[in-house]
Amino acid sequence: MPGGRVELVGLTKRFTEVAVDGVDLDVASGEFFSLLGPSGCGKTTTLRLIAGFEQPTSGRILLDGADMSNIPPHRRNVNTVFQSYALFPFLSVSDNVAFGLRHRHLTKDEIRRLVGDALELVQLTGFGKRRPAMLSGGQQQRVALARALVLNPAVLLLDEPLGSLDAKLRRSLKMELKALQERVGITFLYVTHDQEEALTMSDRLAVMNSGRIAQIGVPREVYEEPADTYVADFLGVSNLMEVEVLDRGPGAACHLRLGETPLAADRGEVDGLGPAHAVIRPERVRIEQHGSAGPNRVPAMVERLVFLGAATQVMLRLAAGVPLQALIQNDGSATGLAQGTPVHAFLPPDALRVLGGAAREVPVEAAAEAAVSR
């Protein structure tokens, strides 16, 4: 197996405040791993520590078992792609890509071959003589990738490389980026605040909060099995509801009360009874006709419909006054819904999860607007 394993052991960085707080992380060789979190959570500082641009206050950074904590950046077998790309405007595309090879005692023919291979890898063959100003944003991003990959690093660090591109271009390039990583087979450590990017490309991801890792796992696991309300609230759109745990059933099952409505949840992460938070994803909420009978059905009123193209987001207000979002695919099933329509919301027990931890206050309207922007 090729090199590229990254281990962080108790990694800590203090400025005036603690930016990275005792992070332990093991990224496997050849893995596409993402650090995900809001601004100020410590993800970019962690990346800069691995690159060697910052020195840790304490802890260790291991690359293939060797401690890199005090090794200067140019002696670490890692390379970085920045959000700004940092291309030299006065150099051609070929000269930008070849820049890092100039000090490796290679012949001109060897450099020309390596540059040509790198440009072919990022689908820019024939663009070598152009200047960066003659390229689109997506093409400049590919040049930055080629310049990093031509040096054959064990680990490629990417600091929000798609952040300056428009939404449509981001969607297409994230597919290309994942395919590129699979072709070259090296470790990608990707920093982003974009949940969709992390879910789409990552083999595994870590959600960060205040300099610490809140949860690590494969995308589906972290999305469907959030460790606490912070992860549930940050990763994707979620319905967080204040409930009361009445009793514990077999395994992790719970019996709850939302307002005056009893609910059953198949999964719970609480140790005792009393106040807690329950979470359910909008796509798992089912809207039924008013008066539908059966367990886990809550009377509600349609407050707002948000057309998203392939789906419609339905903003509900439950009888207990709790806002709830549902996502319905535009397959013709939601034609009878309109503002003010009384309905019943079915919350399937296998989709309802009881969590610990404090939830961030995110107004339901703001969440809807965020969904529209995505």
Span 273-282, mean pLDDT?
Answer: 90
Query: 175: closest CA among 327, 132, 183?
Result: 183
pLDDT at position 84 is: 79
Query: 51: closest CA among 63, 42, 41, 59?
Result: 63
More confident residue, 149 or 252: 149
Rg (Cα) of the chain, in Å, rounded?
24
Scanning the chain, the segments in alpha helix (DSSP H) are 43-51, 93-98, 108-121, 137-149, 167-184, 195-201, 219-224, 229-234, 364-373
Summary count for the chain: helices (H), strands (E) = 9, 21
By three-state DSSP, how is residue 222 classified? Answer: helix
pLDDT tens, 301-349?
999 999 888 899 999 999 888 999 999 998 876 567 889 999 999 999 9
Scanning 28-136, the segments in alpha helix (DSSP H) are 43-51, 93-98, 108-121
Instruction: List, in order, residues 6 or more apart from 288 with CB less than 8 Å away.
Output: 297, 343, 344, 345, 346
pLDDT at position 160 is: 86
Cβ 191 vs Cβ 159: under 8 Å: yes
pLDDT tens, 39-83?
899 999 999 999 999 999 999 999 999 999 999 998 999 999 887
The distance from CA 118 to its chain's CA centroid, rounded to whole angstroms, is 27
The label of the residue with tokens 């009393």 reads 274
pLDDT tens, 255-273?
899 988 999 998 877 667 8
Q: Is the domain defined by 229-373 classed in CATH 2.40.50.100? A: yes
Cβ 301 vs Cβ 342: under 8 Å: yes
pLDDT tens, 87-140?
899 999 999 999 988 888 888 999 999 999 999 988 899 999 999 999 988 888
Say how many residues make up the chain: 374
Q: Do domains 6-224 and 229-373 have the same CATH topology?
A: no
pLDDT at position 372 is: 40
What residues are paired with 78 via a beta bridge?
Answer: 155
By three-state DSSP, how is residue 219 classified? Answer: helix
C-alpha neighbours within 13 Å on the C-beta side of residue 109: 0
pLDDT at position 368 is: 41
Query: What architecture (CATH level 2) is domain 6-224?
Result: 3-Layer(aba) Sandwich (3.40)
Domain spans of the chain? 6-224, 229-373
pLDDT at position 251 is: 65
pLDDT tens, 147-171?
988 888 999 999 888 776 666 767 7
The distance from CA 233 to its chain's CA centroid, rounded to whole angstroms, is 13
Q: CA-CA distance, 248 to 254, in Å (whole number)?
A: 5
pLDDT tens, 203-227?
999 999 999 999 999 999 999 888 8
